[in-house]
Structure 1
Amino acid sequence: MATEQFIGVVDRFEDDLAVVLLEQDGEVVDELVIDRDALPDAANHVDAVLQITRGDDGSVREMSYDAETTTERKERAQSRFDRLSKRPPKDDDA
């Protein structure tokens, strides 16, 4: 049986459901809606990164929380935010 590998990112929660965006090569290619209880315990938060394997029928075969990538993405996003939040100096301030 053929399988596909994805990086999944928890996008949001809608009641008892988790909406997970599936990425391949840095692009969002699909969306997965699963029961929130099906997430690994550590991944029960927005922006959690998962390693997901789906079968050719679309069902999830394996799902694991990727703590290292979650932390890296959070730090990169915070760094971008910090850079963008700094105002450039006015011409008369320089």
Structure 2
Amino acid sequence: MVDPGTYTATLDRIEEAPGGEWAVFVVERDGEAVSQLDLPVDVVPADGRRVDAVFDLVVDDDRFELVFRDAETARRAEDAQVRFDRLAQRPPDTEAGDSTSRSRQQDSY
């Protein structure tokens, strides 16, 4: 279990198990993963029941509270898409004839 305190929890996945579905969270504090938390899906706020949804998690000795952070979820999704788009771009040729020399090397095999 997670020690009492305030955390950021990201929904990593939803798993089927005997007796129902479970939401599996990666729990972070100060940007570092500190734990995994498995909760029945029905205790997760409905608007955040999707992979990569971000929540504030407050844990006390006898209870916990999940608060969906829609804006943070959207920001992280946008950041991930920007990184993906950047990685998907072909790097420019830095030397003239670079692609030609690669083609010749491939043809010689």
Aligned pair partner of 2:37 in 26, 32, 38 = 32
Deviation at 1:93, TM superposition (A): 7.0
Q: Which has the higher contact order (CA 8 A, sep 6+)?
A: 1
Provide structure 1 residue ranges, at least 5 long, that are not aligned to the other structure. Answer: none
- For residues 93 and 44 of structure 1, do their structure 2 counterparts lie closer, same or farther at Cα, with a shift above 3 Å needed? farther
Q: TM-score, normalised to structure 2's length?
A: 0.77
Q: Deviating runs (4+, > 4 A) in structure 1?
A: none
Task: Give me the whole-angstrom Cα distance separating, in 2, the residues matched to 1:23 and 1:89.
Answer: 38
Aligned pair partner of 1:49 in 34, 51, 54 = 54
Aligned residue for 2:76? 73
Larger strand proportion, structure 1 or 2? 1
Deviation at 1:45, TM superposition (A): 0.3
**SS in structure 1 of the partner of residue 91 of structure 2:** coil
Task: Give me the whole-angstrom Cα distance separating, in 2, the residues matched to 1:18 and 1:49.
Answer: 12
| Matched AA of 1:6 | Y
Provide structure 2 residue ranges, at least 5 long, that are not aligned to the other structure. Answer: 99-109
**SS in structure 2 of the partner of residue 17 of structure 1:** strand
Paired residues, number? 91
Contact 1:48/1:65 (<8 A) preserved: yes
Aligned residue for 1:92? 96
Contact 1:52/1:60 (<8 A) preserved: no
Task: Give me the whole-angstrom Cα distance separating, in 1, the residues matched to 2:82 and 2:63.
Answer: 33
Q: Report the aligned-residue RMSD.
A: 1.9
Identity %: 35
Deviation at 1:89, TM superposition (A): 1.3
